C-alpha cells in the first residue's frame, strides 16, 4: 500500500464534494470567504481519516462524504478564527494570505461561524442511519470538552512556565480531539461495535498527540515554505509546547512512542488497518 497514493485518491473525491457544495442562501461575499479557506489546499487529513476508517469496516464512501466534508469545514473554521488578530494574528496560512487579510475581520469571523454551522447542517441532512452517533463524536470533539478547551488553555496560559501536564491537555484538546473524531465517526458510520470504536479512539488520540508534537518541532526547525505559514512564533510568544517542556530530542522520542501506541491500538483490525498504520508512521516524517 502506498499511503500517499491512497491519500491522493481520498483527497480528490473529498475536494470535488467540497467544491460542489451549494451553500444555498449565502450572500456572495460570505460564500467567497468560506470557499477561500475551504478550498485553498491543506492535507485533508481529517476528511481522509474519516473516509478510510469507514471504508476499513466496509462502510459506503458516498454516505460518509458529508461527514468527511463537515470535518474539513470545522477544521477550516478553526484555522480562520485562530489566525485572527485577537488570537494568533497570522497573515499567512497554507502559503496564502489569511482569511481576514483578504476579506476583513468581520467577514472572516462570519465565514468561520458559517463553516461550523453549515457543517452541522450537512451532517444532519445526510439522513445516515448512524447520523446522531457520528454527529455527536464530531461536534463533541470541536466543542467545549475538545478543541475549544484546548484552544482556550492555549491562548490564556501563554507565557506560563513549561508544564507537561498542561501541554498534554492543550494538545489533546486543540489537535488530538479533531483527529480522533474522524476515526470514531467513520467507524460508527460503518456500524462498528463499541470495542472497535474504542480502539479507534486510542489510535486517534495517539496519532493526534504525535501530530501536534511534530507540529511543535516543525515550528522550531521546519521549512516555512513547505509549512506555508510563519514559523518560530511558539517560542517568541512563550507558547506551552512539548519541546519547551522536555527538549527537542525527548520530544522526538515521545512522538515516536505515541505512534507506536497508535499502531498497537489498530491490532483488532488486522491487515485491514494497513492505511491507518502507514498514515500514522508517515506523520513522524512529515515536513508540512
Ligand atoms: C479558534 C476554535 C479555534 C480553534 C483553533 C486549529 C487550531 C485551534 C489552531 C491552529 C493552530 C494549531 C497549531 C492547531 C493545532 C492543529 C493543527 C496542527 C492544525 C493544522 O492542521 P493541518 O496540518 O493543516 O492538518 P492543513 O493545512 O494541512 O489542513
For atom 16 of ligand 1, the residue with the nearest CA is: 175
Cα separation, 81 vs 125, whole angstroms: 26
- Tell how far CA 250 is from the center of its chain: 24
- pLDDT value for 9: 96
Ligand 1 center to residue 28 CA distance, Å? 26
Question: 3-class secondary structure for the chain?
Answer: CCHHHHHHHHHHHHHHHHHCCCCCCCCHHHHHHHHHHHCCCCCCHHHHHHHHHHHHCCCCHHHHHHHHHHHHHHHHHHHHHHHCCCCCCCCEECCEECHHHHHCHHHHHHHHHHHHHHHHHHHHCCCCCCHHHHHHHHHHHHCCCCHHHHHHHHHHCCCCCCCHHHHHHHHHHHHHHHHHHHHHHHHHHCCCCHHHHHHHHHHHHHHHHHHHHHHHHHHHHCCHHHHCCCCCHHHHCCCCCHHHHHCHHHHHHHHHHHHHHHHHHCHHHHHHHHHHHHHHHHHCCCCC
- pLDDT value for 238: 79
Ligand 1 binding pocket includes 210 (Cβ within 6 Å): no
| Mean per-residue pLDDT pooled into runs of 10, the chain (288 residues) | 90 98 97 97 96 98 97 98 96 96 98 98 97 98 98 90 94 98 98 98 98 96 88 83 95 98 98 97 91
With a CB cutoff of 8 Å and minimum separation 6, the contacts of 127 are none
Ligand 1 center to residue 271 CA distance, Å? 30
Q: What is the pTM of this model?
A: 0.96
Residues facing residue 92 across a β-bridge? 97
CA angle, 165 then 78 then 85, to 5°: 95
List the end-to-end C-alpha distance of the chain, in Å, as a whole number: 21
Nearest ligand 1 atom to the CA of 72 is 29
Ligand 1 center to residue 79 CA distance, Å? 6
- pLDDT value for 1: 67
- pLDDT value for 232: 85
Domain count, the chain: 1
- Which residue segment(s) compose the domain that 240 sits in? 3-283
Residues facing residue 97 across a β-bridge? 92
Ligand 1 binding pocket includes 82 (Cβ within 6 Å): yes
Ligand 1 binding pocket includes 45 (Cβ within 6 Å): yes
Residue 67 domain-assigned (yes or no)? yes
For atom 17 of ligand 1, the residue with the nearest CA is: 175
Nearest ligand 1 atom to the CA of 142 is 2
For atom 9 of ligand 1, the residue with the nearest CA is: 82
Residue 288 domain-assigned (yes or no)? no
> Which of 50, 69, 75, 175 is the pocket-test mutation for ligand 1 (most atoms within 8 Å of CB)?
175
Nearest ligand 1 atom to the CA of 215 is 18
Nearest ligand 1 atom to the CA of 45 is 25
Residue 259 domain-assigned (yes or no)? yes
- Give the domain CATH number at 154: 1.10.600.10
Ligand 1 binding pocket includes 94 (Cβ within 6 Å): yes
The answer to whether the CB of 126 falls within 8 A of the CB of 59 is no
Amino acid at each position: 500500500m502506498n499511503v500517499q497514493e491512497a491519500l491522493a485518491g481520498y483527497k480528490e473525491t473529498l475536494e470535488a464534494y467540497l467544491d460542489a457544495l451549494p451553500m444555498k442562501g449565502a450572500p456572495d461575499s460570505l460564500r467567497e470567504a468560506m470557499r477561500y479557506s475551504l478550498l485553498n489546499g491543506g492535507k485533508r487529513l481529517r476528511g481522509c481519516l474519516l473516509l478510510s476508517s469507514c471504508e476499513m469496516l466496509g462502510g459506503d464512501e458516498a454516505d460518509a462524504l458529508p461527514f468527511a466534508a463537515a470535518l474539513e469545514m470545522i477544521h477550516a473554521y478553526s484555522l480562520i478564527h485562530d489566525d485572527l488578530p485577537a488570537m494568533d494574528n497570522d497573515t499567512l496560512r497554507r502559503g496564502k494570505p489569511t482569511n481576514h487579510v483578504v476579506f476583513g475581520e468581520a467577514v472572516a469571523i462570519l465565514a468561520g461561524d458559517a463553516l461550523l454551522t453549515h457543517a452541522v447542517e450537512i451532517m444532519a441532512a445526510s439522513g445516515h442511519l448512524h447520523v446522531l452517533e457520528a454527529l455527536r463524536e464530531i461536534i463533541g470533539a470541536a466543542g467545549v470538552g475538545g478543541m475549544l478547551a484546548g484552544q482556550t488553555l492555549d491562548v490564556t496560559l501563554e507565557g506560563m512556565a513549561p508544564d507537561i501536564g498542561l501541554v498534554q491537555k492543550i494538545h489533546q484538546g486543540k489537535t488530538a480531539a479533531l483527529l480522533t473524531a474522524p476515526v470514531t465517526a467513520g467507524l460508527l458510520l460503518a456500524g462498528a461495535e463499541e470495542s472497535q470504536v474504542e480502539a479507534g479512539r486510542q489510535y486517534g488520540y495517539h496519532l493526534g498527540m504525535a501530530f501536534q508534537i511534530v507540529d511543535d518541532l516543525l515550528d522550531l526547525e521546519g521549512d516555512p515554505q513547505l509549512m506555508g505559514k510563519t514559523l518560530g512564533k511558539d517560542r517568541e510568544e512563550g507558547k506551552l509546547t512539548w519541546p519547551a517542556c522536555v527538549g527537542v530530542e525527548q520530544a522526538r522520542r515521545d512522538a515516536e512512542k505515541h505512534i507506536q501506541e497508535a499502531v498497537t491500538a489498530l491490532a483488532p483490525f488486522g491487515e485491514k488497518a494497513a492505511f491507518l498504520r502507514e498514515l500514522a508512521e508517515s506523520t513522524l516524517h512529515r515536513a508540512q
